[in-house]
Amino acid sequence: MHYRTLGNTGLKVSAVGLGTNRFGGKVDFPTVNEILSAALDAGINFLDTADMYQKGRSEESIGEALKGRRDKFVVATKFYYPTGEGPNERGGSRYHILEAVEASLRRLQTDYIDLYQMHRWDAETPIEETLRALDDLIQAGKVRYIGASNFTAWQLVTANAAAQSHGWTPFATIQPHYHMLERGIEAELIPACVYHNIGILPYFPLAGGFLTGKYRADAPPPPGSRGEESSYVQGYMTPENYARLEKLGAFAEERGHTMVELAHAWLLAQPQISSVISGVTRVEHVFSNASGADWQLSAEEVAAVNEILG
């Protein structure tokens, strides 16, 4: 495993991180514990969760599994989405942020969050209110760095300009939906992040499993796979994407690698990527994902892959 700086900070994170949105749900506590142990063995130190994942159970399971090894991990979580039925139990208001961070700290069984991320833009709350509250959390030592998720380029740049004008801490990272078949951020968000040195943390690098290579145009989805019922995965099941997938799989195999490794390696070859957030439900996923960081694509290989992708 190699490590990269988290945006414009001095913090080092593993090139591949753990996505934990199914911890506390499909992934039970003993497995979460095993996954975190495997992550350490693979050199992964970055894990990403959110207060809304499995209605807080993701954070709870991580908190239990972190006992005795909290200092081994960089822990990122998020706020914004509803955590209850009340009108103030959501969003980017100071009120909600101060409530949400305390709840996350309790579930994670820690006294600090390494990277606290706003899960999406809140059009109903002035961004200055959000940023001031987040800066206060940093000053109080409860949060060490802040990031955003699912912001557009203009939203991210506007927020950080406001932070700079008030002397508050800016967002160090952005977490977007980005993989080989989902490249919309390349038009504006990536150039903005390059210019301002903001770290990018792509999520869904395998397109919900479609980019693992286990789906075939001439066969039904494997039993028990997400492709059987997930509209997200099924949305990629087009003749054009199956053709791309066949060529990408051959490209990887010719070089002694898997499709999973190629999907991660391609992302890590893109500008400003700090870490790829890769979801896991089994221990073996940890090692297959982590191995993608060992394949550093040459410029010629990136160009060849991009030609396949069209």
Is pLDDT at 246 greater than 90 in this prediction? yes
Give pLDDT tens digits for 80-106: 999 999 999 999 999 999 999 999 999
Is pLDDT at 6 greater than 90 in this prediction? yes
State the catalytic residue, choosing from 3, 53, 145, 195: 53
In DSSP terms, 23 is beta-bridged to 27
Other C-beta atoms within 10 Å of 165: how many? 9
The sheet carrying 16-19 orders its strands as 199-200, 173-175, 143-149, 113-118, 74-79, 46-48, 16-19, 276-279
Domains belonging to the chain, first-starting first, are 3-214+260-296 (3.20.20.100)
Over range 4-15, report the average pLDDT.
97
- What integer pLDDT is reported at residue 222 of this predicted model? 87
**Spatial distance between the Cα atoms of 81 and 25, rounded to a whole number of angstroms:** 18
First to last CA, the chain: 30
Is pLDDT at 17 greater than 90 in this prediction? yes
Other C-beta atoms within 10 Å of 166: how many? 11
Active site residue 236: no
**Spatial distance between the Cα atoms of 224 and 19, rounded to a whole number of angstroms:** 20
3-class secondary structure, 95 = helix
- What integer pLDDT is reported at residue 70 of this predicted model? 97
The pair of three-digit structure tokens given for residue 226, joined into one six-digit string: 């997400």
**Spatial distance between the Cα atoms of 262 and 63, rounded to a whole number of angstroms:** 32
Phi, psi of 190 (to 5 degrees): -60, -45
